[in-house]
Chain A
Amino acid sequence: MTNKNIKLSEISDIFKKLDVEELEGVTIEGDIELDISGGGGLNPALAYALGHEAAQVSLHVANIARMLGYPVDQLFATSMGAVPAAETTRPNVLDELIPSKFEVSKVAEWNNSIEEVTLGATSADGGSRKNTITLGGENALPYHFDGEMPHRNYVTMDVFDMPIGMAKSVKENYEDVINDPADWAKKVVNDFNADMVTIHLISTDPLINDTPAREAAKVVEDVLQAVDVPIVIGGSGNPQKDPEVLEKAAEVAEGERVLLASASLNLDYERVAKAATDYGHAVLSWTQLEINAQKELNRKLMKQCGVPRDSIVMDPTTAALGYGLDYAYTNMERIRLAGLMGDDELTFPMSSGTTNAWGARESWMKESPMNEDSNWGPREYRGPIWEIITGLTLSLAGNDLFMMMHPTSVEVLKEITQTLFGSVETEPLDITNWIGTEV
C-alpha cells in the first residue's frame, strides 16, 4: 500500500479540466492525508463530489466493520460528534460508569414481634406427638431482610370424617382411604409429607348426618392414634352444633395441644374458648375478611374468655385466586403490618384455608363455561397450581399455617415457602446469558 501526501490544491489541479460527473467511479486507494489547510480555490461542486466519494468509501468500510461486530457508530459518535445525523438525536456516551453505592434502610416501625404459638405436645409435656410445631415469632414481613423469620411455614392437610365431594384431581388421591379418617390421616403424613393433619368433623352437621358429638370425638381419637404429628380439629361449620362437637373433641384430645377450629363471632365462642383453655389447646379465631371483626374476636377471646396470648391463631378467611384473593391478601397484610407496628390485638400467627382454592371453577371445571374464552387446557394441571398460587400469595402477606388438599400443591408450596425462608440449598446458576437459553 502506498502512502501519499496530497494537497487539496493538487487534487483540484488534477481534476481541474474534468467535468464533475466524470468523478463517478474514481476510487481512492491507500492511506490518504488531505491537507485542507493549504486551502485555496477548490471548486465547490468538485469538493462536494470528492466529499461524497470519500463518505461512500468510509460508509462501505464502516459497514464491513459493523458486520464484524465492531461498534462503529460509537466511534462515529465520539469522533464526529459535531456532525449529528439529521433524523436522530445526538448520542452522548460517557467514557466510564458513574460509580454508585446502593443503600436502603430497614423498616423502623416494625418493633413488635408476632406471638409464638406451639401446637402438639410430646411425651415430655404429657402428650403423644413425636414433635411440636411452633408458628409465628416474626418481627418483619415474611422473608424480608428486615428480620430473621424464626419458624418456617407449615402445612396441615385436610381429612374428613365422611366421604365428601371433591374435585376429580383431588379425589383420585384419596379414593382408597375416603371411608377411613385414620387411614386418610396416615396417608397425608406418610405419603404426602403433611406437617399436621386437620380432621374435619363435618358429619356432625344436623343437615348432613347429625353425628353425635361423642361419636365424632371417637374419630379424633382414631386420628390421634394413627399419626403422631400435631393436629387441628374442625367442626362442621354449623354454629349451633360446633361448640358441643369441639368441647367433646377437646376433651378426648386433652394433653395433645391441638388447634380447635374455630371460634367465631357468629357462634358461642365462649364455649369453644373454654374447651381450649380447659384442656390445654389453642384456638383458631376465625373472622370474615374484616380486620376490625378480627380485633374484636381476639379481644373477646383474651379479655372475656381468658385465652392466653400464646394460644390464639387467626384465620382471617381465604378467598381463592380470582374469587376475592385480593381482599384476603390485603386483609392479611394489613393485619400483619398492624401487629408488627404494635397493635397487640393482632399479633398472632395466621392460618389459611387454602383448600378454598378448589372452589374456583378454574381449578376443577373441565372447560370454560364461557364460549368466548381461550381453551383452558387440562384441568389436572390447573387445580394444583390454583391452590399453590392462592397459598403462596397469602404466605407473602404473612400467613403461617396452610390447610391444604392436593399432594402436588403441598409439595410445591412447601418448596417455594422454604426457598424464600432460606432453607433450600441449590447449585449456583449462571444467568448472565439467560437470553441464549435453548428451550
Chain B
Amino acid sequence: MKLNSPLEAYKYLPGTNCGECGETTCMAFASHLIDRSYKLTDCKPMVKDNKYSKKFDVLKQLLAPEIHEVEIGVGERAVKIGGDDVLFRHKLTFFNKTALAYDVWDTMDEKDLVERIKKIDDFKKFYVGEFLTLDMIAVRSTSNDPEKFAATVKKVIDTTDMPMVLCSFNPAVLRAGLDEAADKKPLIYAANQDNWQEVAELVQEYDVAVTVFAPNDLDLLKSLAGTFSGMGIKDIVLDPGTFPTGKELKTTFNNFLKIRRAGINGDHDIAFPIMTVPMTAWMVYDDDVSASYWETVIASIFSVRYGDIMILHSIEPYALLPQLHIRDTIYTDPRTPVTVDPGVMEVGSPDANSPVIVTTNFALTYYTVESDLASSKVDCYILVVDTEGIGVEAAVAGGQLTAEKIKRDFEAAEFDLKTRTNYNTVILPGLAARLQGDVEDVLGANVLIGSADSGRLPGWLETNWPPTKK
C-alpha cells in the first residue's frame, strides 16, 4: 500500500467519528486500515454517501496491496493468493497463506483418481484450535487429449469442491477443461512463449485467472505479465520455473527474491502472486521417499520466501504434515499475542476429585494441552503459569517456571488445593520433572510427574489417577 501512517489515511475519511465501524474515532479506524485489520468498506458512510465516493476511490487505490490479490475457485473453498505488502513477516504480516495444490492427471484410471482426490480433500491435522487442510487439486494433462482431460476435470468437479489448477500447455486441452470447469473459476496453467495468444483468448473468453510461465527468464516473464495486463487481464500468477536441484535451484531461489522485491518496491508489471512447482523434484529422484523429502524441502523454502501457490505430488503424511506446518508458521500473524492469561482453567466439568495439571502460558503449549485433554474428554483443572510466554522445557531452563511462580499463580487465582480438591496433588509436565522437590516443599502438596508430551496425558491419567495417597 502507498500509505505509511494512519494520518495519511485519515485525511480521506469522513472525520465525523460516527462510530459505525465499531471504533470511537476515524483516526482509530485509520490505524486499522494501515495494519489491514479493517477494510475500507467497513466505513459505512464512505460506502453509502455519494459525497465521499471520490475520496473512497482514491483511498481504495492507496490502500491496495502492492502484490495483486488473485482469487481462485468459488464458494467456501475459494482461495486467495498474493495481497502482500512486505518482504518480512515481522514488518506487518504475510496475507493469504500459500495455497497448496496436489496433482491428479488425466491418464489415471477412474478409481485411483477418485481415491486420490478424496485423500487430498479429507486430509486434516488438528492444530491450535483448528484443522490444517489442503487447498486445491491441480489437474495435469499427461495425455494431451482434450477429451480425456475434460473427463478428468469433470470427475474432479463431481468428487470435490476444492478449487482447481488446470495444467496443460495445449490450448485445445485447456479449452476442453474450461468447457467443464469455467464456472468453478479454476486457475489456468500456463501461458508460455509459444501459446500465449491462444491462452490469452481462453482466459478472456472464460474469465479465469492465468499463470504465465517463463523458466528462468525474468525478462520474458515480465513481458508475458505486462502483455496480459495490456490486454486487460488482471488475475495473473507468475511462474519463473522451479528447478529442483543444484545451481539451478539457487537461481530459482533468487528469481523468487527478485520478483517479490521488485513487486513490493512498486514494479507493477511483476507485482503478482508467484507459483512454485516443488513437484519437479519427482523429475530427479526415483524413489518415493527421497522425492517426497526433496519436494517438501523445496516447498518449505518457497513457503518462507514468497511462493503464493504451489503444485505438489506426494500425499504421504510425512510430506503433508511439515508442508502444512511450515506454511502455517510463516503465515501466522506475528502481531497476535504469544501468551494466554495465567490462571486456573477448567476442562470439561471438573470437581474435587479431578486432577490439577500445570502448564505454561505460552499460547501454543496451553492450547495443545487443553485440546489433548478435551479431545479425550478428561475433566480437570489446568493451572496456567505466567512463564512470560515461554514453553515448559525452556521455561524450566530459563527460570520462568519455578515452584515459587506456580505458588504465586495458584494464589492469584485464589485456588486452594487443600480446600478445592480431595487429593492436594498437582501434576507437573514431564519436562519439568526437576522441579518436583521444590514444588512439594513450596506448595505443601503432593507432586506427580506427568508425561513429557500432553498427548500421552489421557493415557497416563488412566493408570495414575486418582493417586493412591490422599
Query: Does B196 have its Cβ within 8 Å of any Cβ on chain A?
Result: yes
Given A93-B200, A100-B223, A424-B246, A396–B301 Cβ distance below 8 Å? yes
A426 surroundings in chain B (CB, below 8 A): 245-248, 284
Q: How far is the CA of A436 from the CA of B175 in the complex (A)?
A: 17
A170-188, CB < 8 A from B = none
Q: How far is the CA of A400 from the CA of B42 in the complex (A)?
A: 46
Query: Does A29 have its Cβ within 8 Å of any Cβ on chain B?
Result: no
Do residues B326 and A393 form an inter-chain contact, with CB atoms below 8 A?
Answer: yes
Q: How far is the CA of A367 from the CA of B232 in the complex (A)?
A: 51
Query: Does A86 have its Cβ within 8 Å of any Cβ on chain B?
Result: no
Query: Does B394 have its Cβ within 8 Å of any Cβ on chain A?
Result: yes
Query: Does A30 have its Cβ within 8 Å of any Cβ on chain B?
Result: no
A369-411, CB < 8 A from B = 369-378, 381-382, 384-386, 388-389, 392-393, 396
Q: Give the distance to chain A from B274, nearest Cβ to Cβ, in Å.
A: 13
Do residues B230 and A94 form an inter-chain contact, with CB atoms below 8 A?
Answer: yes
Do residues B226 and A98 form an inter-chain contact, with CB atoms below 8 A?
Answer: yes
A239 surroundings in chain B (CB, below 8 A): 399
Q: Give the distance to chain A from B236, nearest Cβ to Cβ, in Å.
A: 13
Given A69-B172, A429-B284, A434-B283, A372–B375 Cβ distance below 8 Å? yes
Stretch at the interface among A14-22, A219-227, A321-329: A321-329
Query: Does A330 have its Cβ within 8 Å of any Cβ on chain B?
Result: yes
Query: Does B136 have its Cβ within 8 Å of any Cβ on chain A?
Result: no
B390 surroundings in chain A (CB, below 8 A): 288-289
Do residues B222 and A102 form an inter-chain contact, with CB atoms below 8 A?
Answer: yes
Q: How far is the CA of A381 from the CA of B230 in the complex (A)?
A: 48
Q: Give the distance to chain A from B464, nearest Cβ to Cβ, in Å.
A: 17
* Chain A, interface SS category: loop
- A95: nearest residue on chain B (CB-CB)? B197
Do residues B453 and A373 form an inter-chain contact, with CB atoms below 8 A?
Answer: no
Q: Give the distance to chain B from A20, nearest Cβ to Cβ, in Å.
A: 33
Do residues B282 and A144 form an inter-chain contact, with CB atoms below 8 A?
Answer: no
Interface residues on A, range: 35 or more
Given A94-B231, A104-B262, A145-B257, A422–B247 Cβ distance below 8 Å? yes
Do residues A412 and B227 form an inter-chain contact, with CB atoms below 8 A?
Answer: no
Q: How far is the CA of A433 from the CA of B215 in the complex (A)?
A: 10
Q: How far is the CA of A329 from the CA of B301 in the complex (A)?
A: 13
Given A92-B204, A329-B329, A371-B375, A425–B246 Cβ distance below 8 Å? yes
- B146: nearest residue on chain A (CB-CB)? A67
Q: How far is the CA of A371 from the CA of B374 in the complex (A)?
A: 11
Do residues A369 and B317 form an inter-chain contact, with CB atoms below 8 A?
Answer: no
Q: Give the distance to chain A from B298, nearest Cβ to Cβ, in Å.
A: 9
Do residues A435 and B168 form an inter-chain contact, with CB atoms below 8 A?
Answer: yes
* Chain B, interface SS category: helix
Given A334-B90, A396-B301, A437-B282, A324–B250 Cβ distance below 8 Å? no
Do residues A324 and B364 form an inter-chain contact, with CB atoms below 8 A?
Answer: yes
Do residues A372 and B313 form an inter-chain contact, with CB atoms below 8 A?
Answer: no
Q: Give the distance to chain A from B293, nearest Cβ to Cβ, in Å.
A: 6
A411-439, CB < 8 A from B = 412, 416, 419-422, 424-429, 431-439
Most B CB atoms within 10 A — which of A88, A319, A389, A436?
A: A389
Q: Mark A40-84, 1 if CB is under 8 A from B, else 0.
A: 000000000000000000000000001101010110010000000
- Give the B interface residue count (CB, 8 A): 116
Do residues A88 and B206 form an inter-chain contact, with CB atoms below 8 A?
Answer: yes
A386 surroundings in chain B (CB, below 8 A): 322
Q: How far is the CA of A322 from the CA of B329 in the complex (A)?
A: 7
Query: Does B372 have its Cβ within 8 Å of any Cβ on chain A?
Result: yes
Q: Give the distance to chain B from A207, nearest Cβ to Cβ, in Å.
A: 5
Q: Give the distance to chain A from B16, nearest Cβ to Cβ, in Å.
A: 39
B140, B205, B207: the one contacting A73 at CB < 8 Å is B205
A100, A326, A378, A416: the one contacting B334 at CB < 8 Å is A326
Q: Mark A88-115, 1 if CB is under 8 A from B, else 0.
A: 1111111001111111110000000000
Do residues B317 and A375 form an inter-chain contact, with CB atoms below 8 A?
Answer: yes
Given A69-B170, A144-B254, A326-B330, A382–B289 Cβ distance below 8 Å? no
A393 surroundings in chain B (CB, below 8 A): 300, 304, 326, 329
Q: How far is the CA of A438 from the CA of B143 in the complex (A)?
A: 10
A357-376, CB < 8 A from B = 359, 361-362, 365, 368-376
Do residues B201 and A91 form an inter-chain contact, with CB atoms below 8 A?
Answer: yes
Given A98-B223, A325-B329, A412–B293 Cβ distance below 8 Å? yes
Q: How far is the CA of A378 from the CA of B289 in the complex (A)?
A: 12
B200-230, CB < 8 A from A = 200-202, 204-207, 215, 218-224, 226-227, 230
A101 surroundings in chain B (CB, below 8 A): 219, 222
Given A73-B201, A103-B262, A359–B169 Cβ distance below 8 Å? no
Given A92-B231, A100-B223, A433-B169, A419–B249 Cβ distance below 8 Å? yes
Q: How far is the CA of A329 from the CA of B231 in the complex (A)?
A: 41
A388 surroundings in chain B (CB, below 8 A): 293, 297
Stretch at the interface among B3-11, B73-81, B119-127, B409-417: B119-127
Query: Does B346 have its Cβ within 8 Å of any Cβ on chain A?
Result: no
Given A89-B205, A393-B326, A419-B245, A385–B293 Cβ distance below 8 Å? yes
Do residues A330 and B297 form an inter-chain contact, with CB atoms below 8 A?
Answer: no
Query: Does B55 have its Cβ within 8 Å of any Cβ on chain A?
Result: no
Q: Mark A322-360, 1 if CB is under 8 A from B, else 0.
A: 111111011001100100000000000000000000010
A427 surroundings in chain B (CB, below 8 A): 246
Query: Does B269 have its Cβ within 8 Å of any Cβ on chain A?
Result: yes
Do residues A288 and B226 form an inter-chain contact, with CB atoms below 8 A?
Answer: no
Q: How far is the CA of A327 from the CA of B376 in the complex (A)?
A: 29
Query: Does B362 have its Cβ within 8 Å of any Cβ on chain A?
Result: yes
Most B CB atoms within 10 A — which of A205, A416, A433?
A: A416
Q: Mark B281-294, 1 if CB is under 8 A from A, else 0.
A: 01110000101011
Query: Does A237 have its Cβ within 8 Å of any Cβ on chain B?
Result: yes
Do residues A89 and B204 form an inter-chain contact, with CB atoms below 8 A?
Answer: yes
Do residues A438 and B142 form an inter-chain contact, with CB atoms below 8 A?
Answer: yes
Do residues B321 and A431 form an inter-chain contact, with CB atoms below 8 A?
Answer: no
Q: How far is the CA of A284 from the CA of B35 in the complex (A)?
A: 37
Q: How far is the CA of A435 from the CA of B189 in the complex (A)?
A: 9
Do residues A370 and B372 form an inter-chain contact, with CB atoms below 8 A?
Answer: yes
Q: How far is the CA of A429 from the CA of B298 in the complex (A)?
A: 16
Do residues A392 and B265 form an inter-chain contact, with CB atoms below 8 A?
Answer: no
Query: Does B115 have its Cβ within 8 Å of any Cβ on chain A?
Result: no
B363-383, CB < 8 A from A = 364, 371-372, 375-376
Query: Does B325 have its Cβ within 8 Å of any Cβ on chain A?
Result: yes
Q: Give the distance to chain B from A167, nearest Cβ to Cβ, in Å.
A: 11
B283 surroundings in chain A (CB, below 8 A): 429, 431, 434, 437
Query: Does A269 have its Cβ within 8 Å of any Cβ on chain B?
Result: no
Do residues B245 and A424 form an inter-chain contact, with CB atoms below 8 A?
Answer: yes
Q: Give the distance to chain B from A366, nearest Cβ to Cβ, in Å.
A: 10
A337 surroundings in chain B (CB, below 8 A): 88
A160 surroundings in chain B (CB, below 8 A): none
A2 surroundings in chain B (CB, below 8 A): none
Do residues A429 and B300 form an inter-chain contact, with CB atoms below 8 A?
Answer: no
Do residues A266 and B250 form an inter-chain contact, with CB atoms below 8 A?
Answer: no
Q: How far is the CA of A73 from the CA of B344 in the complex (A)?
A: 69
Do residues B90 and A74 form an inter-chain contact, with CB atoms below 8 A?
Answer: no
Q: Mark B440-454, 1 if CB is under 8 A from A, else 0.
A: 000000000000010
Q: Mark B32-65, 1 if CB is under 8 A from A, else 0.
A: 0000000000000000000000000000000000
Do residues A378 and B258 form an inter-chain contact, with CB atoms below 8 A?
Answer: no
Query: Does B82 have its Cβ within 8 Å of any Cβ on chain A?
Result: no
With A421-B250, A429-B243 known, 5 other A-B pairs at CB within 8 A are: A74-B201, A88-B207, A362-B321, A382-B321, A431-B241
- Name 29 interchain pairs, CB-CB below 8 A, sorted by A: A71-B198, A73-B198, A73-B205, A93-B204, A98-B226, A102-B218, A103-B262, A104-B258, A104-B261, A321-B322, A321-B325, A322-B328, A325-B329, A326-B329, A334-B90, A365-B455, A368-B126, A374-B124, A374-B317, A378-B318, A381-B289, A382-B317, A385-B296, A392-B300, A393-B329, A427-B246, A429-B280, A434-B280, A435-B140
Which 4 residue pairs of A and B lie closest in terms of their CB atoms, listed nearest first?
Answer: A426-B246, A369-B455, A377-B317, A102-B218
